[in-house]
Chains A and B, each alone.
Chain A
Amino acid sequence: MTLRLTDAEASKFWNDRHLRETDLRSGGHVSYDEATNSMFYLRRLSMLMDRVGMQSNPVAPLYLLDAGCGKGYFSRELAKLGHQVDGIDRSEAAITLCRELGGGPRYHQSGLSEWRTPWLYDVVFTVDVLFHIMEDAEWERSTRNLASLVRLGGKLVIGDWGQDNDHVFGSYQICRGRDTYLPLLDACGMRFDGWEPYRFRRSPIGFYTFTRIG
């Protein structure tokens, strides 16, 4: 049986990784070099843009939540498009770096299950973060909390694999599949719009997209 990292161990692991690794490798794929990670980030950014939409307005912008923002690549890039972005991450090192880099988003040190705000979001997205939450109860709290932050008609975008079942990879990754996500989020008032793979190298991961309908 593979030993899973506890929630606290995972937090420490990611904080150390953000301190140790380069900007893209720390939050991207650690096996890829910087150039490959650049492609990987651009690919996912482009897919996020499809889901957020191609409209923005500086007077009345869209509000987005980047849940598990790491060093803030997606937050900054989406802020450049005119959106108001909140980035949250549990890693102090990552949030410190995000704030130093600036670029428009507002950053907060928070776990996914803990983030509280009086404002709902047009789009909440979490890119390749939920499958690093090893404790099922914390994963469920996080997923439910993110869903609750989506306004009526808004979208929840989750990066995870598209198989039906769940699968554990090593000590720090557990991919959950449709059989886990769909019933949980249906009960939260979210309609499943589809799952689209990244189509990047051999990655089995892609984006689930849900819309709040109730």
Chain B
Amino acid sequence: MLIRELLPLFEDVTTVVEVSESGKALQEQLRAPEAAAYRPYAPGEKMDAGTVVVAFVGPNPTAHIDAETVAPALQELPVGGRALLLLGWPVSDLPYHHVLDKLVTAGCQVLQVIPLDHAAGDRAHCAVLAARVDRLAPLRPYLFDEPIVVDGDAPDLRALLRLTGEKVFSDLLDRPLRRNLAEASDRVSEQAKRIRELERELATTVAQAESQLKRARNDIAKLQASTTFQVGAAVVQGARRPGKAIVSVPVGLVRIWRKRGAPGGPAKQQP
């Protein structure tokens, strides 16, 4: 869901109260209706049932406020008032306990939590839609995008039995999953550590091999430049073509003698 699709889920919005200080950022992204007043939160300023409290809540102090900061505004909401909190943590790693604490303490029911498309930078990954209630509001399915009805029929006993039953069973099923996830995460960390060690070992081995190769190349170059090698090469060449050897071997030897001491010429024999 897009951020601009969120506010229309709330009907009869007369005032939007922003607790975070985002400048115009949040107001523009929400595309608040022109008929609704948009103002910053001021402690003690009266809010009515048409009010929606909005805020970026998350881990980055330059972009978000923390849950403690939004709590007073939630507590001032009258019954029927609503809250729209844009959370800055990735959904897969959402520490929701802080926000949930504040909402429950303020008498707010979480109506829906919606992951956001194209998470606005890292500023908002999901949105919590909540309402101050004095009885349970109707339950909403996941990703449902019809307008929210807060004062509709409360869930009956059968629905609550189903809800608590699903909660209890999913709580049970979450446990082995959580354990598997933790074990998998540990294995991944261990493997990443081992990969880094292997990379270091490999880099050392490659450096040693390159050094040996360099030394071997130097040795070959010295050998090939030595008088012994060049005289030997001239003689071998002569032995391969005996017909030409009468000329080529002496000429070769003279050439070696002339180039003695010149760069690239035959090296002086080591004693």
Contacts and interface: CB of A to CB of B under 8 A. Distances in A.
A188 to B, nearest CB: 11
B270 interface: no
Contact of A214 (B1, B140, B159): B159
Contacts of A211: 141
A54 B162 contact: no
Interface stretch (B142-150, B190-198, B215-223): B142-150
Given A59-B90, A212-B162, 20 more contacts: A53-B143, A53-B144, A54-B145, A55-B143, A55-B145, A56-B143, A57-B117, A59-B91, A59-B92, A62-B143, A118-B173, A119-B173, A122-B142, A122-B143, A153-B140, A155-B141, A189-B158, A213-B158, A214-B158, A214-B159
B34 interface: no
B45 interface: no
Q: Which of B92, B117, B125, B143 has the most CB of A within 10 A?
A: B143
B141 A154 contact: yes
Contacts of B125: 59
A211 B144 CA distance: 13
A1 interface: no
Contacts of A56: 143
B161 interface: yes
Given A60-B91, A151-B166, A214 B156 contact: yes
Q: How large is the interface on A (under 10, 10 to 19, 20 to 34, 35 or more residues)?
A: 20 to 34
Nearest to A155: B141
B206 interface: no
Nearest to B143: A55
Nearest to B90: A59
Interface string B1-33: 100000000000000000000000000000000
Contacts, number: 55
B162 A189 contact: yes
Nearest to B169: A118
A120 interface: yes
B143 A153 contact: no
A214 B91 contact: no
Nearest to A57: B115
B139 interface: yes
Interface residues of B, number: 23
Contacts of A19: none
B166 A53 contact: no
Interface of B: 1, 90-92, 115, 117, 125, 139-145, 155-156, 158-159, 161-163, 166, 173
Interface string A50-72: 00011111011010000000000
Nearest to B142: A122
Interface in A137-162: 151-155
B1 A153 contact: no
Contact of B163 (A53, A119, A152): A152
A56 B143 CA distance: 7
The 9 A-B pairs of least Cβ separation, nearest first, read A214-B158, A153-B141, A55-B143, A57-B115, A214-B159, A60-B115, A59-B91, A152-B162, A59-B115
A213 B145 contact: no
A171 to B, nearest CB: 39
Nearest to A214: B158
B145 A53 contact: yes
Contact of B162 (A53, A60, A214): A214
Contacts of A212: 162
B245 to A, nearest CB: 73
A211 B125 CA distance: 28
Contacts of A152: 139, 159, 162-163, 166
Given A62-B142, A122-B141, A55 B158 contact: no
A59 B117 CA distance: 9
Interface string A171-214: 00000000000000000010000000000000000000001111
